[in-house]
A = this chain, B = another copy of it.
Amino acid sequence: MGADHARTIDRRIAGASVVAIADFDHARAVAVASEMRDAVTFADGRTLIDDDGVDAVIIASHDSTHKELVLAALAAGKPVLCEKPLAPTAVECREVIDADAGRGLVSVGFMRRFDPSYMELRRRVLSGEIGDALLAHCVSRTVDTWPGGDSASTITNSAIHELDVVPWLLDSPIAEVSWHAGRTSRNSGSRQDPQIMLLRTESDILVTVEVFLNARYGYDTRCEVVGEIGTAALTLPSQVVVDRDRTRSVAYPADWIPRYADAYRIELQEWVDSIDGGRPSELASALDGLAAGLVADALVISMNERRTVRVER
């Protein structure tokens, strides 16, 4: 992820340069730096953050290091874009928010907000052309999972994108959740897969969310908003349709990389532009990161206790 961001900034973003790279595995930092137009490496992230040549910092290291590095960037007064999760617990997220002290220096990498199709969906929902939103249906399917995850990590690592994008899309925070499951796939290892979640926004819009990580057939994000006089939904992105072997077909991507390549690029360009312009970015903030985390926490409780759970504020 870090290498991808570095390549995007170096090759696809106007107005910014990758000047320094650090990685726990130094050889990897050296390899990525050698791909850049002109970048040095640092032995550790804190030294990089404090370096005078560095104006802003992207953190895509191991989840356990996020908080500490974000705090270092805040101490240095530098804008920082942190991949989700901002911190493992709500208490620690609040620590980051306190350290930012309202400066708006922290952005969280919820790139779906910059996906052109999600942006268009939001524009249409907010335009009123489908009337007031009443329901939404989200589906998030991936091809397979890494070994070692469990049912809770499906919520905190994967569903988290829905938990951020739904309030952004419907313009209302999630107030209440419940978690549901039936049969699990034989491909799911030890985790329950698929999972169904019901989210209720503060504005009382009910949202169904299916997360199915071993869906096998392809990487597929769906979202439909149902309003009083119509609906609006993401289309399946496709460029070419093929007729062959008695079928008409379009291709699914194998993972999120082609699906969200534009979103990452646009997100990074907006981040750079906002720093350049000295204005707040449109990226998810530390507060947004906290909000999504609190909904995830509520879903884990609902899963464990099999009851509807109010989201802490």
Please give the residue numbers on chain A whose beta carbons come within 8 Å of chain B beta carbons, in ascending order.
9-15, 37, 116-117, 120-121, 124, 129-132, 134-135, 137, 180-187, 194, 196, 198, 200-201, 203-206, 208, 210, 212, 215-218, 220, 226, 228-254, 262, 269, 273
Contact = CB atoms under 8 A, between A and B. Distances in A.
A239 B243 contact: no
A194 B132 CA distance: 13
Contacts of A252: 243, 246-248
Contact of A134 (B185, B206, B231, B247): B185
30 contacts: A10-B14, A11-B269, A12-B269, A15-B37, A116-B239, A121-B239, A124-B242, A129-B242, A129-B244, A131-B216, A135-B210, A180-B198, A180-B206, A182-B206, A183-B206, A196-B208, A215-B231, A216-B228, A217-B231, A217-B244, A217-B246, A230-B245, A233-B241, A234-B239, A235-B240, A237-B239, A246-B251, A246-B254, A247-B251, A249-B250
Given A130-B243, A230-B244, A247-B250, 18 more contacts: A11-B15, A121-B239, A131-B216, A132-B186, A134-B185, A135-B196, A182-B206, A183-B203, A187-B228, A194-B226, A216-B228, A217-B245, A231-B242, A233-B241, A233-B242, A234-B241, A235-B241, A247-B252
Nearest to A218: B246
A240 B14 contact: no
Contact of A239 (B117, B132, B185, B251): B117
B242 A130 contact: yes
Contacts of A233: 240-243
Contact of A13 (B14, B212, B220, B236): B14
Contacts of A269: 11-12
A185 B181 CA distance: 28
B242 A135 contact: no
Nearest to A212: B226
A226 B215 contact: yes
Contacts of A184: 134
A217 B249 CA distance: 12
A304 to B, nearest CB: 17
A200 B196 CA distance: 12
A183 B136 CA distance: 11
